[in-house]
Amino acid sequence: MAYSADAEKSPPLDIPEANATAEAEMQPYTELIEHTEAEIEMVPIPAGKFVMGSPANEVDRVDDEGPQHEVEIAPFWMGRHEITWDAYEIWCDDIDILRRKITGASETPRDPIADAVTRPTEPYTDMSFGLGMGAHPAICMTQHAARTYCRWLSAKTGRYYRLPTEAEWEYACRAGTSTAYYFGDDTAKLEDHAWFVDNSNEEYHEVGLKNPNPWGLFDMHGNVSEWVLDQHVADSYNIRKGKLTTNPLAIPTQLYPRVVRGGGWDDNPIDLRSAARMTSSDEWKEQDPQIPKSIWYHTDAISVGFRIVRPLVEPSAEEKVAKWENTAPEQIDPEE
């Protein structure tokens, strides 16, 4: 799923607040998806070091959350919310292309590149499963679909977007804290910050309705769990123990398991902790009637979505292919 060199040459959509060459210049901005009304709010996340994983005495701790180890993270922007259906359906249903045709709007220099990015096949059913669309977080996509959306959005805007690494996600979720949740250890306070099994009424909710974390990010705990780039490697934390690791990423080499973070509306508090690691499974496709099963949809992952990041320093085309856009062959659409 390598990026087109042409996409790197296209001028970005002009949003002055999105321009920065140093961390001190980074500020919040709203990304626009041209020819639509959809917007994606982006929040600057400062560079820093943190202790990744949970301490041995954390309540409900799981073995793969340790040992704790020090990680250094470069600055990036992160979506204030999970990607909503409003923003996701544009890519899925060619809405931007259709609106250009209907309104007679001229193509931007980016549109031909974005239009060439593969889009999902039509789902066999409503992939929201009647739980709500619009400002609700998009759900049920595979990691491949989430990554391809980032590829399309990068071409559409002229700015480079991707999924966060697992380390970036936990760093942003913690926002300088070291407790089980970014607000502390008391699960009695969880309802003020998250939708989960005890208060969700068996459905997800529109983004941004609970309290944000100290860095202004909403729904990092609960609502829907979120795809990150990493393969789940059970001993990866042990390999990093005792040394400072900079911007780690477990590049996927197998289709399963991969990591999702944050917990969802149907999860217990244990799964919403900042250090909690959940994993994908082929069971997420059990109800998919297609042969072979779709590379775009997880029919049984109705509490899985994603949010995006944009690094301050965009990697080179070679770095994208070698690291950030590298993935196991099973996730590649043969038509790409």
What integer is the mean pLDDT of 283-297? 91
pLDDT (0 to 100) of residue 9 = 62
- Per domain, the residue ranges of the chain are 26-331
What integer is the mean pLDDT of 102-106? 94
Checking if the pLDDT of 6 tops 60, the result is no
pLDDT (0 to 100) of residue 124 = 87
Could you tell me if 64 and 170 are in contact, meaning their C-beta atoms sit under 8 angstroms apart? no
- Identity of the residue numbered 317: A
Checking if the pLDDT of 315 tops 50, the result is yes
Nearest-angstrom CA–CA distance, 140 and 146: 10
Percent share of the chain, pLDDT over 90: 90
Q: Higher-confidence residue: 204 or 124?
A: 204
pLDDT level of residue 326 (50, 70, 90 thresholds): confident
pLDDT level of residue 234 (50, 70, 90 thresholds): confident
State both tokens at 185. Answer: 């250890």
What integer is the mean pLDDT of 293-300? 94
146-191 pLDDT tens trace: 999 999 999 999 999 999 999 999 999 999 999 999 999 999 999 9
Percent share of the chain, pLDDT over 70: 95
53-66 pLDDT tens trace: 999 999 999 999 99
Checking if the pLDDT of 128 tops 50, the result is yes
pLDDT (0 to 100) of residue 330 = 53
What integer is the mean pLDDT of 232-245? 94
pLDDT (0 to 100) of residue 3 = 42
Could you tell me if 106 and 81 are in contact, meaning their C-beta atoms sit under 8 angstroms apart? no
Record the pTM: 0.95
Could you tell me if 41 and 86 are in contact, meaning their C-beta atoms sit under 8 angstroms apart? no
What integer is the mean pLDDT of 22-45? 97
Burial degree of 318 (CB within 10 A; 0-12, 13-18, 19+): exposed
What integer is the mean pLDDT of 302-321? 96
pLDDT (0 to 100) of residue 292 = 87
pLDDT level of residue 10 (50, 70, 90 thresholds): confident
pLDDT level of residue 329 (50, 70, 90 thresholds): low
Give residue for tokens 């309540």: 59
pLDDT level of residue 26 (50, 70, 90 thresholds): very high
DSSP letters spanning 89-116: HHHHTTHHHHHHHHHTPPPPTTHHHHHT
Q: What is the largest CA-CA distance in the chain?
A: 62
Nearest-angstrom CA–CA distance, 73 and 56: 23
CATH number of the domain at 26-331, out of 3.20.10.10, 2.70.98.60, 1.20.1050.10, 3.90.1580.10? 3.90.1580.10
Could you tell me if 4 and 313 are in contact, meaning their C-beta atoms sit under 8 angstroms apart? no
Mean per-residue pLDDT over the chain, rounded: 94
State both tokens at 77. Answer: 């922007």
Checking if the pLDDT of 204 tops 80, the result is yes
